[in-house]
Structure 1
Amino acid sequence: MNRHFSDARYYFGRGFDHLYAGLKEETAPLRRRVMRAMGWETEDEAPEPQTRRERVEYGARQAATRGRRVAGDVRRRVGRTGQ
Structure 2
Amino acid sequence: MNRHFSDARYYFRRGFDHLYTGLKEESEPLRRRIMKAMGREMEEEEIEPQSRRERVEYGARRAATRGRRAARKVRRRVERTE
TM-score using structure 1 length: 0.53
Distance in 2 between residues matched to 1:44 and 1:38, nearest whole Å: 17
Larger relative contact order, structure 1 or 2 (CA cutoff 8 Å, min sep 6): 2
1:6 aligns with 2:2: no
TM-score using structure 2 length: 0.54
Are residues 34 and 65 of structure 1, via their aligned partners in 2, closer, same or farther at CA, if it must alter by over 3 Å?
Answer: closer
In the alignment, is the contact (CA less than 8 A) between 2:35 and 2:42 conserved in 1?
Answer: yes
| Match of residue 25 from structure 1 | 25
User: Among the aligned pairs, what percent are the same residue?
Assistant: 69
Q: How many residues align?
A: 54
User: Which has more helix, going by share of residues?
Assistant: 2
The alignment's C-alpha RMSD in Å is: 2.9
Structure 1 gaps, min length 5: 47-58, 69-83
- Larger radius of gyration, structure 1 or 2? 2
